[in-house]
Amino acid sequence: MPTGNRQGPLDAVIVGAGVVGAACAHYASRAGLAVAVVDRGSVAGGTTGAGEGNLLVSDKEAGPELDLALLSLRLWRELAGLLPPKTEYEPKGGLVVAPDETALTALRRFAEAQRTAGVETHEVPSDALPDVEPHLAPGLAGGFHYPQDAQLQPARAAAQLLLSARRSGASVHLGEAVTGILTRPDGTLGGVRTTHRRLHAPAVVNATGPWASRLARLARAHLPVHPRRGFVLVTEPLPRVVRHKVYAADYISDVASGSAALQSSVVVEGTPAGPVLIGATRERVGFDTALSAEALRRLARQATALFPVLAGASAIRAYHGFRPYLPDHLPAIGPDPRVPGLFHACGHEGAGIGLAPATGLLVAAALAGDRPALDLRPFRPERFDRAGAET
C-alpha cells in the first residue's frame, strides 16, 4: 500500500526497502528530489532484517571500501542524533584477537595500513586483553582495539530512514514486485512497472541486495551479484558478558575470500537488549533457505572457545540471510553507462548496513548531478564482463 504525500512527477524510483534503499531515499529526498521506493515485500524484509547491524572499519583493508566505511561511520554518527533510542545505535568499538604470534604480526601490518588511511586502532598486548574483555579465553597472543566500530538494530534503522524520506515527500510502495522496466518512445529508461502500477521516472536505482542481478537483467544490464548465505546464533538474554564486537583475526580473510564452500570465523557481540549474537558463516549455495546444522555447530564451538562463559548459555534461535556478493568484494554504486538512467546501490556483501549512508549520499549526488563525496570509479557497475570477471 502506498504511503507518502508528494504530488507530481518523480525524479527517481528506488527499488528496495532495505537499509541501502532507505538511505538512498533519505538523502535523495533531502536533496529535494521526488522519489518513490518500491519493494516486493516489507521494510527490511530481506538481507537487512537478517543482519547483525555491523558498522565496521576494523575488517576493511586500506582502499576504496575503507574510504566508504569511514564516510559512512561519520554519517551514522550524524544520523544517530536523529534516530530514536530503539534503533540501538551503540558506538562500543571492536576488538580483533590473534591466537598466536604469526596472526598478531599479520594484524600489525593490517592495522598500520589502516592507520595511514585514517582508522583509529590500538594494539592490546596479551596481558591487557582481560581489561578490555574480562571473559575472553586465556592464552591469546594479543589483539587490536578499534574505537570507531559500532552497531545498531538494522531493521529499525531502515524504517527510520524511510520515515525521514516520507516526511520529505517520498512515497513508499510495499508488497509490489517490479515486473519490468519502462522505456520512453525514444528508447530511454522511463521508470518501472510493478504488480500494481506504473511508476514513471527518468532514473531507477537498483538497491535490491542479493537480487540485484535480476533487476539489472530487466534493464538489459549485466551485474554478477550472487547470494552468499550466512547464519547467526542468538543466545538467551545475559548480563553484559561481551563489551565490544569481538572476532578472531581469520574473520578478515574469510570476508575477503571468494570461496563458495562453508566458512566460519566467529564474531561475538552483546546487545543492549541482552542476547549475544554469534556469527559469522559464509557459503554460496544460491537462495537455499535450509538450516545448516554444521554451520551452527561451528559457530557454537568457536564462540565458546573464544568466550568460555557462553558454554553455559542457551541458544534460543538462529537465523540466516543472503549477502549480496560481487567477485571483487566492492559494491556497485552509481550510474550504469550501459543503460542511461539506471543507477546501482548494491553488492555490499556483509557490509551493507555499515556502508548504507555513504552509498545513499553518493547515489543522491549522482541523481542530482552533483559532485560526489568520493570517487565513484572503483564502484563502477560496468567493471564486470559477461563472464563475471573484471574488465
pLDDT tens for the chain, residues 1 to 391:
455 544 569 999 999 999 999 999 999 999 999 999 999 999 999 999 998 899 999 999 999 999 999 999 999 999 998 888 889 999 999 999 999 999 999 999 999 999 999 999 999 999 999 999 999 999 999 999 999 999 999 999 999 999 999 999 999 999 999 999 999 988 889 999 999 999 999 999 999 999 999 999 999 999 999 999 999 999 999 999 999 999 988 877 666 666 778 888 899 999 888 999 998 899 999 999 999 999 999 999 999 999 999 999 999 999 999 999 999 999 999 999 999 999 999 999 999 999 999 999 999 999 999 999 999 999 999 999 654 444 4
CA 152, chain centre distance (Å): 12
Sequence ranges of the chain with CATH classification 3.30.9.10: 94-147+226-325
- Tell me which fold the domain 2-50+154-224+328-383 belongs to: FAD/NAD(P)-binding domain (3.50.50)
Q: Give the start-end residues of each E strand in 43-177.
A: 54-55, 94-98, 122-125, 142-146, 150-151, 171-174
Closest of 162, 159, 177, 136 to residue 86, by C-alpha = 159
Give, rounded to a whole angstrom, the gap between the first and last alpha carbons of the chain: 41
Residue 76: Cβ within 10 Å count: 23
Grid coordinates in use for 289?
Answer: 533457505
Q: Is the pTM of this model over 0.85?
A: yes
Q: What is the CA radius of gyration of the chain?
A: 21
Q: Tell me where in the chain the CATH 3.50.50.60 domain(s) lie.
A: 2-50+154-224+328-383
User: Per DSSP, what are the bridge partners of residue 142?
Assistant: 98, 125
> Which residues, 6 or more positions from 230, have their beta carbon under 8 angstroms from its beta carbon?
279, 280, 281, 282, 283, 320, 321, 322, 323, 350
CATH number assigned to the domain with residue range 94-147+226-325, chosen from the 4 options 3.90.650.10, 1.10.357.10, 3.30.9.10, 3.40.1440.60: 3.30.9.10
Contact 201, 173 (CB under 8 A): no
Q: Return contacts of 75-78, CB within 8 angstroms, 24+ apart.
A: 75/357, 75/358, 75/361, 76/150, 76/152, 76/354, 76/357
d(CA 305, CA 114): 28
